Amino acid sequence: MRRNPTIHSGTLPSWTIVLAAGAALGLAGCGGGGGGGGSGGAGAAPSISVTQPAAPISLVKGETFLVELTATDPDSVARISVYADEDGNLNTTFDQVRLRQLDEQNGSVLSFEAGSARLYEATFMIVGEVDDDRHAPVRSTAPGTVAVDNVSYAVRAGGVVEDSLSAIAEYDDAACVVTGNFRGTAIFGSGEPNETSLASGGEDDISVARFNPDGMLAWAKRAGGPGFDKGLAVASFADGSSVAGGFFEKNATFGAGEPGVTDLISLGGADIFLARYNDDGTLAWATSAGGPSFEQILHVVTSATGTIYATGEFSDSCTFGIGEPNETTLVSQGQLDMFVAVYNSGGTLSGVRHVGGTGDQSGRDISTYPDGSFLVTGGMAGTATFGLGEPNETTLISDGDGDIFYARYNPDGTLAWAKRAGGLGVDAGLGVARLTDDSFALVGTFNGMATFGVGEPNETVLTSAGAAADIFYGRFNSDGTLIWVSRVGDTLGDVARDVAAFDDGSFVITGTFRGTVVFGEGTPDEVSFSADGANDSFVAHLTADNALAWAARSGGTGKDGAFGAVVYFDNSVGLAGRFNSPATFGRGDENETTLTSAGDRDLFVARYNPYGGF
């Protein structure tokens, strides 16, 4: 659903350059036009003309735009400077872009891809100057201005008890929808026009809320009843509606006070719910699946055609599509088994797939392909059989207490392939995202030694820093073979909870860490974080070839965690999770924000600029 920024210039000749506040930067490359010899005699004045940006443009901090100029210098000794100055006057070098002697560039068109990564929020005029030390400097301004917007924010919601968000989904305009749980009274959008107070009906209730691109609340809704209810998964549709999933106990009311109010009744301990909300937050429909024991949806995703894919876990037996033509009852083969259920846009069951074995199997994340095939990842213990009775039936056997699985299903729901990774410890896949070339990124947690790509050319063994869990993240081909995999972690326990893809094949990961973690270790871009409290949140942007683009942390002295991540159309990044006590986002940045919880734990929604700052 994301679209590319329209202001990016595409493939550019000559030099790559970055606008920077406070200092001039060196060239990233050299080249461009050559020209030889001047067209005038010695002593003639140089000239310069800035032609790009040709019209006013607006971009987010971290995006790029084209600066284009033509300079002539008969003496071939000119220095060319490019400035971004708020007033359009060359009265300071604070925002100087570049100063370099350029020989024999007579009449050549010089193109720069400039970025706003460290410019503050403002409107700038691009100014070019040429100076040959023999004449007064000659200046030219671009026909258009550049408006730099800082889109970052961090907002909270909650009450005096414990509140959290489990998932986030994005819209085309960089709005987002989130889901989670709250207890007692929780206030969303405090002090805003759409401030909403939600009150739980029993223990924890489900929250579903939409936030505008600037972090202001659009609406917030509750669902639930006298039991323990929780929203664990959410996805968006192109029409602005959304679908949330999770579990509920006893009975739960959705859309209270609305024409479409729906009461769901559990068949046992805890049942699955799936509910669709209209663009304005009113309930479209709600449905359930369940049995005598425990069932929950852990992730949900939608396709461009409106199809809904949900995965999770169940025990004993679970009936999906009750009373519908495709009603299906699954029976657990061991303890917890995994399911993948497919619904149409109206909430009617299309089909459901079952993965079971001797131990626990749990589906944690799904990612779809344009052709209707999909990836699923999670954790398994003992044996797990995928595609039972099909040509590609595969039984995986864990090495230890729990292994990572990742599998791809064809558009008709039959198994394409299934693979595992792990070792003797407890390992699990927690996030998967299809990349633009149909490879995919996989993230999660492992401890001890874990082997990825067993028997493949790129087989890799990772070893955690201590006895506790570490983060893993990797990239795999569309057939499931390993391209590369890496780890990050300290000895205290670290987890990658989610992953989201950029259009260029890179991806962002998020989760929690303790102690000190290092991203991009041993590279010039290495970043080290130390948690302020028991847990802090992290977010990191990795390129397709495993280089670190940027990383950031947030948190305070309590227990904080990010559980969901999205990438917006402008390459900014959204996070959702929880925090305890004061938690700081964008530490040291222009828009540094500290949130203070009202009680035990509150929920947060945050948006980072495209380069990872605030």
Does 419 score more than 60 pLDDT?
A: yes
62, part of any domain: yes
155, part of any domain: no
> Do residues 145 and 208 both lie within one domain?
no
Does 16 score more than 50 pLDDT?
A: no
Which whole-number Å values give the CA distances from 497 to 79, 287, 364, 571, in the listed order? 50, 27, 10, 20
> Do residues 129 and 217 both lie within one domain?
no
Structure tokens at 14: 């000559």
> Do residues 140 and 208 both lie within one domain?
no
Instruction: Pick the last residue of a domain from 128, 149, 170.
Output: 149
Among 108, 130, 142, residue whose Cα is nearest residue 44:
130
Contact 141, 580 (CB under 8 A): no
Does 300 score more than 60 pLDDT?
A: yes
Rounded Cα–Cα distance for residues 435 and 544 (Å): 9
Residue 109 confidence (pLDDT) = 64
442, part of any domain: no
The count of other CB atoms within 10 Å of the CB of residue 109 is: 16
- Tell how strand 374-380 and strand 361-368 pair up: antiparallel
Structure tokens at 43: 């002593």
359, part of any domain: no
358, part of any domain: no
pLDDT band at 6 (very low <50, low <70, confident <90, very high): very low
> How far separated are the first and last CA of the chain, in Å rounded?
24
> Do residues 100 and 222 both lie within one domain?
no
Tell me: the pLDDT tens digits for 559-572? 899 999 999 999 99
- When mean pLDDT is compared across 28-42, 133-147, 360-374, 543-557, the lowest value belongs to 28-42
346, part of any domain: yes
> Cβ neighbours of residue 194 under 8 Å, at least 6 residues apart?
216, 217, 218, 219, 220
- We report the CATH number of the domain holding residue 72 as 2.60.40.10
- When mean pLDDT is compared across 130-139, 145-154, 173-182, 487-496, the lowest value belongs to 130-139
Which whole-number Å values give the CA distances from 410 to 311, 366, 482, in the listed order? 16, 13, 20
Partner residues linked to 407 by β-bridges: 376, 418
**Average of pLDDT values for 204-224?**
97
Q: Is 257 exposed, middle or buried, given 0-12, 13-18 or 19+ CB atoms closer than 10 A?
A: exposed
Tell me: the pLDDT tens digits for 390-413? 999 999 999 988 999 999 999 999
Residue 49 confidence (pLDDT) = 87
Contact 319, 269 (CB under 8 A): no
> Do residues 131 and 208 both lie within one domain?
no
- Tell how strand 548-556 and strand 583-585 pair up: antiparallel
> Do residues 260 and 123 both lie within one domain?
no
Structure tokens at 275: 């509910």
> Do residues 135 and 254 both lie within one domain?
no
Number of domains in the chain: 2
- When mean pLDDT is compared across 416-420, 503-507, 533-537, the lowest value belongs to 533-537
**Average of pLDDT values for 190-195?**
97
Structure tokens at 431: 């996030």
pLDDT band at 22 (very low <50, low <70, confident <90, very high): very low
pLDDT band at 5 (very low <50, low <70, confident <90, very high): very low
Residue 113 confidence (pLDDT) = 64
> Do residues 122 and 40 both lie within one domain?
yes
Contact 286, 254 (CB under 8 A): yes
Instruction: Pick the last residue of a domain from 112, 128, 149.
Output: 149
Among 200, 205, 213, 231, residue whose Cα is nearest residue 155:
213
What secondary structure letter does DSSP report for 121? S
The angle subtended at Cα 387 by Cα 386 and Cα 392, nearest 5°, is 105
Residue 370 confidence (pLDDT) = 95
pLDDT band at 42 (very low <50, low <70, confident <90, very high): low
C-alpha torsion angle, residues 461, 467, 471, 477 (rounded to 10): 20
> Do residues 87 and 222 both lie within one domain?
no
Does 317 score more than 70 pLDDT?
A: yes
540, part of any domain: no
State whether residue 258 is helix, strand or coil: coil
Q: At 431, which amino acid appears?
A: G
pLDDT band at 77 (very low <50, low <70, confident <90, very high): low
> Do residues 111 and 21 both lie within one domain?
yes
Q: Order of strands across the sheet with 153-157?
A: 153-157, 602-608, 573-579, 561-567
pLDDT band at 115 (very low <50, low <70, confident <90, very high): low
Mean pLDDT score of the chain = 86
494, part of any domain: no
Contact 427, 402 (CB under 8 A): yes
- When mean pLDDT is compared across 59-63, 89-93, 342-346, the lowest value belongs to 89-93
Residue 23 confidence (pLDDT) = 25
State the residue range of the domain holding 297: 203-320+331-352
Tell me: the pLDDT tens digits for 460-504? 999 999 889 999 999 999 999 999 999 999 999 999 999 999 999
> Do residues 125 and 214 both lie within one domain?
no
The count of other CB atoms within 10 Å of the CB of residue 41 is: 8
> Do residues 138 and 70 both lie within one domain?
yes
Residue 13 confidence (pLDDT) = 26
Does 329 score more than 70 pLDDT?
A: yes
> Cβ neighbours of residue 422 under 8 Å, at least 6 residues apart?
398, 399, 400, 402, 403, 404, 446, 450, 451
